[in-house]
Amino acid sequence: MRRPEPLKAGDTIRIIAPAGRLNPADLEFSMKIFAGWGLSVELGRNMFKSGNMFSAADAERLTDLQDAIDDKNVKAIICGRGGYGTNRIIDKVDFSTFELMPKWLVGFSDITVLHSHIQRNFGIETIHGPMGKTINTESTEESIESLRRVLFGESVQIKINGDAGNIPGRAKGILTGGNLSILYSLIGTPSEPDWEGRILFIEEIGEYHYHFDRMLVAMKRAGIFTKVQGLIVGHLTNMKDPEPGMQRMLSETILEHVSEFGFPVVFNFPAGHEKDNRALVIGRELDMVVGEKDVELIFFEDEEIAEQGFSLRRMVIAGIVMVGFFVVLWVIYSMVLKKYL
């Protein structure tokens, strides 16, 4: 997977709204946060035009996304919010500039469409994390700081307390996932994630328990759980189960469908539609260690950087060997020369 360049003070970022509607006041707090990081903040031209559930018409939202991708001065794209609508425009986006010059894209919920599409088709890392509207006075410091660390290229390591429902174990793989409803809707499309060898992250909000179960059944029938190496379950927020309902915990429903596959499972991970929404790097390889008392996620260094480092070491070693070889030749030559002179 390719990694966008880290941000630095003075860089320009742009907030856009590829899905649900926004008001300018929704972004006041986050814009102050970004400015405090030394960033210059721009807004998409069309993001406040809505008169319905979308931030603007499909064509206008597409224009804002395309402009943010193509503008060489914009070093990161921050989505203002989720909601619904990204899947209506994804097939018309031209990612050719993005592929040549990757930049960070940040968001969650409906933005899962972009995460999955970019990872599947272009192999570029993105950030599942807080957005313009969700960075607010109620956000935890850990949530906001986790986003800053990823954007500015600092190490990413998250350690949390264990949960009684966890399945202990250790797994390594590239992180994929996001909102479960969106992932479910992407099955069979050009934006469906590559599940093979992945660690799957899911979160959800406002769904009926039976529909949550339906989505997991569909993923199981599609063979997805035979391919993944581990499961991280984030916030399951405001879920509904009217009488008579499923009459059990959501964690029990999850375990019913995945426990037979033998991979480690983490519950109550702080990511999703709640105040503590830690930034996760979609597309980056991680080491997932699930113990009895705690859980640790350690994101690996970029494979290309590691390979570059390995190649550099090989060049240095080869250089040393060559110098040594010529030193030996010179010593032999000097000894022979002295003998015959």
C-alpha distances in Å from residue 309, one per residue of 152, 286, 287, 301: 21, 19, 20, 11
Amino acid at 284: R
| Annotated catalytic residue within 203, 204, 207, 285 | 203
Q: What angle do CA 180, 254, 252 make, to 5 degrees?
A: 140
Tokens of 236: 């399951």
Q: Could you give the count of Cα atoms lying within 13 Å of 258 in the half-sphere of its Cβ?
A: 28
Asked whether the beta carbons of 206 and 236 are under 8 A apart, the reply is no
Among candidate residues 30, 109, 143, 146, the one labeled active-site is 109
What is the C-alpha separation between 37 and 302, in angstroms, rounded?
24
207 is catalytic: no
Catalytic residue check, 260: no
User: CB 322: neighbour CB atoms within 10 A?
Assistant: 10
Cα–Cα distance measured from residue 17 to residue 58, given in angstroms and rounded to the nearest whole number = 11
Global pTM reads: 0.88
Strands 294-299 and 285-290: antiparallel
What pLDDT, on a 0 to 100 scale, did the predictor assign at position 319? 58
Name the strands in the sheet holding 230-237, side by side, starting at the edge strand that comes first in the sequence: 157-161, 294-299, 285-290, 169-179, 198-205, 230-237, 265-266
CB atoms within 10 A of CB 312: 10
Q: What tens-digit pLDDT sequence spans the chain (341 residues)?
A: 999 999 999 999 999 999 999 999 999 999 999 999 999 999 999 999 987 999 999 999 999 999 999 999 999 999 999 999 999 999 999 999 999 999 999 999 999 999 999 999 999 999 999 999 999 999 999 999 999 999 999 998 999 999 999 999 999 999 999 999 999 999 999 999 999 999 999 999 999 999 999 999 999 999 999 999 999 999 999 999 999 999 999 999 999 999 999 999 999 999 999 999 999 999 999 999 999 999 999 999 754 444 444 344 455 455 565 656 665 566 566 665 555 44
Using an 8 Å Cβ cutoff, are 26 and 137 in contact? no
The DSSP-derived string for 121-181 is HH-B-EEE---TTTSSTTS-HHHHHHHHHHHTT---EEEEE--TT-B-EEEEEEEEEEEHH
Nearest to 199 by CA among 71, 285, 129, 314: 285
Q: What is the pLDDT of residues 91-125, one digit of tens each?
A: 999 999 999 999 999 999 999 999 999 999 999 99
203 assigned to active site: yes
Catalytic residue from among 191, 209, 273, 285? 273
